Structure 1
Amino acid sequence: MLDVNIIARNIELTDWLQSYVEKKIGKMDRYLPILTSAHVELTREPVKDANRRNKAQVTLSGGRTIIRGEETAADMTAAVDQVVDVLHRQIYRYKGKRMDRRTKAQPVAEGEVPPLPPEVLEEMQEEQPSRIVRVKHFTLDPMDEEDAVTQMEMLGHDFFVFFNTNSGRINVVYRRRDGNYGLLDPEMK
């Protein structure tokens, strides 16, 4: 059974709600045995739309795998049920990608990843904030490009920073507007 850590914000974590969440989330390792822990955040937000008041965020982790889901609903149990459904779909997708990779895995050649288009570079420069509002520290797990893309999708992000085992350098994979992926492989001057 998973080690489930629950944090409640602006809502009372009753024994019943805690038991309900532990029961629902605690079973996730049945579907993906490498999972070891779950971080659950239950938040009640003061918004007008009742269907968005209760938010359940869950991050499952184990080894180098991270799977994240977030859902909102009118009541907290519905939000938990919905996020469990999201996590099931992500685990199913993750397992499918792992199986596909075993059968069709091919390393990405150096020239196959297209360079970042100039218009994307310009947009990135234009959208930079005038000041740093948040600093995030994290550890880089060694992985290849395909693992990095899978992690990025599981987290629901548009980019992912990782230590590339193939090149021995820090790289960034990102989702392009055309639905494909790009790889940033910086070099020091």
Structure 2
Amino acid sequence: MQINVTFRHIEPSDPLRAYAEEKISRVKKYLDEPVDAHVVLKVEKFRHIAEVTIDANGLRINGAEETDDMYSAIDKLADTLEGQVKKGKEKVRRRKPVTMGKDFGGTTVPPAAGLSEDDRETRVIRSEQVHAKPMDVDEAVMQLNIGGGEFMVFTNRRTGRVNVLYHRKDGHFGLIETVG
């Protein structure tokens, strides 16, 4: 982790620089390499301000804290950064799909247990590509019965359009025809 410390309107001191580097380097364990951090320590009248910009493999994190003491401003900044990074990593972990065991290009998402209504969203759980073979509706019904699936996508020989044949709950078949 590369950390640059800049002093503005304050006398540069090695102990303060080392303290800032030590505190800011705590977030390194949550970020992917390479990590560059630029810390600015400044004093404006009676306020001591610690600001940081962290670039970590395409991720940019900014933070600033001000108190009446520079060491406490650095402490607050480090705590704020650590919280931001943990929260961001948790969001990424929750949204990252996990590959299913079967090799048909589908993905599954971990269950949304413990999430609030705002965090839940509709997701595509499985995706697969099918070849729409040309056939008649009667032939598609026969293929669907033999195959045992829930639906069949095919190209209707009579119309030349893509159709979907599916099992209805009442035991009959439904047919979806594309238009246009």
Name the TM tier (shorter chain). 0.5 to 0.7
2:85 partner letter: I
* Pairing 1:66–2:65 present: no
**Alpha-carbon separation, structure 2, partners of 1:100 and 1:31:** 16
Residue of structure 2 aligned with 1:91, choices 51, 76, 85: 85
How far did 1:31 drift?
2.2
Report the more deviating stretch, 77-86 or 94-103: 94-103
**Alpha-carbon separation, structure 1, partners of 2:74 and 2:48:** 9
**Alpha-carbon separation, structure 1, partners of 2:34 and 2:26:** 10
2:72 partner letter: A
How far did 1:35 drift?
5.0
How far did 1:23 drift?
1.2
In proportion to residue count, which structure has more helix? 1
Pair 1:35–1:25, CA change in 2 (3 A): farther
Q: How many residues align?
A: 101
1:12 partner letter: E
**Alpha-carbon separation, structure 1, partners of 2:50 and 2:87:** 21
Q: CA offsets, 1:118-162, max 9 Å, x none?
A: xxxxxxxxxxxxxxxxxxxxxxxxxxxxxxxxxxxxxxxxxxxxx
SS where residue 34 of structure 1 aligns?
A: coil
Q: Which runs of 5+ in 2 are unaligned?
A: 98-108, 110-120, 125-180
| Counterpart position of 2:41 | 42
**Alpha-carbon separation, structure 1, partners of 2:56 and 2:79:** 19
Structure with the greater relative contact order (CA < 8 A, sep ≥ 6): 1 or 2?
Answer: 1
| Counterpart position of 1:154 | none
In proportion to residue count, which structure has more strand? 2
| Counterpart position of 1:20 | 19
**Alpha-carbon separation, structure 1, partners of 2:26 and 2:32:** 10
1:86 partner letter: T
CA RMSD of aligned residues (A): 1.9
* Pairing 1:55–2:49 present: yes
Q: CA offsets, 1:28-83, max 9 Å, x none?
A: 2112233511000111001xxx5xx0000011111110111110011100000000
**Alpha-carbon separation, structure 1, partners of 2:18 and 2:93:** 34
**Alpha-carbon separation, structure 1, partners of 2:72 and 2:66:** 8
Contact 1:29 1:35 in 2 (8 A): no
**Alpha-carbon separation, structure 1, partners of 2:34 and 2:25:** 10
Contact 1:69 1:87 in 2 (8 A): yes
**Alpha-carbon separation, structure 2, partners of 1:21 and 1:84:** 9
* Pairing 1:9–2:3 present: no
Q: Which runs of 5+ in 1 are unaligned?
A: 108-189
